[in-house]
Structures are given as C-alpha cells and as structure tokens.
A = this chain, B = another copy of it.
Amino acid sequence: MLLLVLDLIGVAVFAASGALAAVHARLDVFGVVVLAGITALGGGIVRDLLLGLTPPSSLRQWPYLIVPAVVALLVFRWHPTVARLRRAVQLADALGLALFVTTGTATALRVGAPAATAGLVGVITGVGGGVVRDVLLTEIPTVLRREIYALAAALGAAVVVTGDALGLPATPVALGAAALVATVRLLALWRHWNAPVAGPSPG
C-alpha cells in the first residue's frame, strides 16, 4: 500500500517534470499530455519488463493513467512563467527520481530479485522516465550531464537493499532512502556540486 502511494506520488511529480519540459519545448496540449505520461510511466514500465511482470502494472491500473493526464492539464493551464520552468523541471525530476529509485528497488526485492539486481532495477526505474523525456526532446539526458544524479540514485538503492538485508522495517527505510536521494540531488543542484570532467589530454 505504501509502495502504491509512493509510486503514484512519483508518477505525479515525474508527470509534472515531463509536462513542464514539454511546455518549455512549446509542444501543444496533446504533446504535453503524452510527454507527461511517457515520463511518468516510462521508468515503471521498464522496471516491470526487466522483472518479467507483463503487462506492466501501470497499464493495468486506472490511477496510473488518470494521474499523469490530470497533472499534465494542470501544468498546461497554470504553469509558472517560462523563465522559471527549467528550475521547476529539475525540482519535480529530483522528487520523482527519489520516489522511483525507492519503489523500483523495493518492487524488485518483493518479487525475489537478489540484492544487486534489485538495486540496479531501482536505479534504472528512477532514471528511466527522465532519460526518455530528454531523448524525446532531443536533449542529452540529465543523468549523463554535469550534476550528481546517478550517484544519488545509487545511494538510495543501496539504502533500500541494505535495510532489506538487515531486516529493518520497510516503511521508514523507504522514506529515508527517498529523502536521501532528493536531498543529495537538490543539494547538488543548488550548491552547483559537479563531478570532475576528463582533461583534454592524457595524464
């Protein structure tokens, strides 16, 4: 139940990030709804395909369809000024990453995946929606660009896997992992933490 609620909140914030990015790219209202839906559901669909759960749960349950559509229409109607959209996309994206890494890892553990597999599936679930969103808008995905992103996802997945291995209660672990991912990601954004870039010639 907690998994479902966290997953739907993740769907909602990723839908918002997709819708905001679509408005920023000047897509029409259908494009905004479609990109919001793909961004919101993409990570979970990839997760279910990797775990052999077909058809993916998000294509079988109504809330997974209604939430992104409603969020997309709300964003389309009441989005902030275009000048502020980039920051709003980043904020929604960070929250979606946090929730999807957590629920993706937990879902994989629940169906019996070993720890390493579960962590990887969690990371892929978390970054998947944003990658698809950026690729469809012909941008290099955030996960590959300058800010700490994959690292935040990996930390969150590691916390969920470790908590499970230690037999800790799932709910506080999931909430703690999500909070950790969001905090690391947002600090990296706001403090302009960057990882090193390779120099132009060999060391």
Is the pair A55, B150 in contact by a Cβ cutoff of 8 Å? no
Complex: A9 Cα to B33 Cα, angstroms: 29
* List of B residues within 8 angstroms of A159 by Cβ: none
Complex: A192 Cα to B56 Cα, angstroms: 36
Copies, count: 3
Q: Which listed segment binds B: A18-26, A96-104, A173-181?
A: A18-26
* List of B residues within 8 angstroms of A79 by Cβ: 198, 202
Q: How far is the CB of A202 from chain B (nearest CB, A)?
A: 6
Complex: A116 Cα to B66 Cα, angstroms: 11
Tell yes or no: A197 within 8 A of B by CB.
Answer: yes
Closest residue of B by beta carbon distance from A35: B144
Contact mask A182-203 → B, CB, 8 Å, 1/0?
0000000000001111101111
Given contacts A81-B202, A138-B140, contact A30 B151 (CB under 8 A): yes
Is the pair B60, A50 in contact by a Cβ cutoff of 8 Å? no
* List of B residues within 8 angstroms of A139 by Cβ: 138
Contact mask A13-41 → B, CB, 8 Å, 1/0?
00000000011011111111111000000
21 residue pairs of the A-B complex, CB under 8 angstroms, read A23-B198, A25-B140, A27-B144, A27-B145, A29-B195, A29-B196, A29-B197, A29-B198, A30-B150, A33-B150, A34-B150, A49-B49, A50-B55, A50-B59, A52-B52, A55-B113, A59-B117, A60-B114, A60-B117, A80-B202, A82-B200
